[in-house]
Amino acid sequence: MDFINLHTHSYSNDDSILEVVNQYPWEFDESIPNYSIGIHPWYIDDNRLSLDLKSIEQKLQLNECLALGECGLDKRIDIPFQKQTAVFQSQIEIVQNTIKPIILHCVASFQEVISIKKEMHIENPMIIHGFSKNKQVAKSLLDNGFYLSFGKYLLRNPELSEVFNYVPNDRLFLETDTIEETIIDVYQKASTIKNIKMEDLKDIIKTNFNQIFNQLNK
C-alpha cells in the first residue's frame, strides 16, 4: 500500500490504502479486512455493555483487528464521567492482554488519560486521534509516550501547522475520521506543512505503523 489511514469510519476498498476502519461491537461488519474495535464514550449503553466488552475481547484476538478503539473520555457529553472512566478502564484491561495499540477519543480529558496510563501501567501504544490542540498539550502527551494522529483539523485550522511541525516524525500518524476529503488530501497537506516530499512522508508513516502495529507484512 502507498498510504495508511490510521482512523476512518468508512471503508474505501482501495488497494493503495491500508485503512484502520473504526468498528463498534453492536454493528460489526465482517467484510472489512483491517479494523479497530471499541466502545466510544458517546455510545455507552448499560443494556449491552457486557456483550460489547465480550465482543471486543474476542475480536482483539484476531489478526484483522489491529487496535482497540476508538475509546476514551469526553467531558463535553452528558454521560457521567465516572461511568465513562469505568468503561474505558474495562476496555484497557482487555487490550492489556495483547500488544495491540489503543486509538483514543479524548475531549478535554488529556490529563485524566495521562493519569490512567500511569496508574494502569499501560504499555500498549496509545494514539490520540484527531489531534487539534496547542503545543503545550502536545508536549505533555509526547512526554508521556503518546502518539498523535492528525486529519480534519490539519486541513481546517492553519494554526495547527505549528503544532504539527513540532511533533517528531516518529510520533505521528494521519487519518480521515469522518471527513469527505481523502487520506491523499491529508498526506498532501502534511507534506506541504513539513516541507518534505510525499514519498518521504509515506516512508515515515509506514515506519511508525510497522513499529507499533507490526502488521505491514501480514
Print pLDDT tens along the chain (218 aa).
799 999 999 999 999 999 999 999 999 999 999 999 999 999 999 999 999 999 999 999 999 999 999 999 999 999 999 999 999 999 999 999 999 999 999 999 999 999 999 999 999 999 999 999 999 999 999 999 999 999 999 999 999 999 999 999 999 999 999 999 999 999 999 999 999 999 999 999 999 999 999 743 44
Residue 74 is assigned to a structural domain of this protein: yes
Residue 30 is assigned to a structural domain of this protein: yes
Residue 11 is assigned to a structural domain of this protein: yes
Contact 128, 139 (CB under 8 A): no
Residue 218 is assigned to a structural domain of this protein: no
Contact 110, 137 (CB under 8 A): yes
CATH code of residue 205:
3.20.20.140
Residue 19 is assigned to a structural domain of this protein: yes
- Residue 214: the pLDDT is 77
Residue 67 is assigned to a structural domain of this protein: yes
pTM for this one?
Answer: 0.96
What residue has cell string 476496555? 91
Q: How many distinct structural domains can be found in the chain?
A: 1
Helices 110-119 + 81-95 axis angle, to 10? 40
Domain that holds residue 7: 3-213
Edge to edge, the sheet with strand 3-8 lists: 3-8, 17-23, 35-37, 65-74, 102-107, 126-128, 147-150, 172-174
CA distance 155 to 139: 21
Q: CB within 8 A of 181, min separation 6: which ones? A: 155
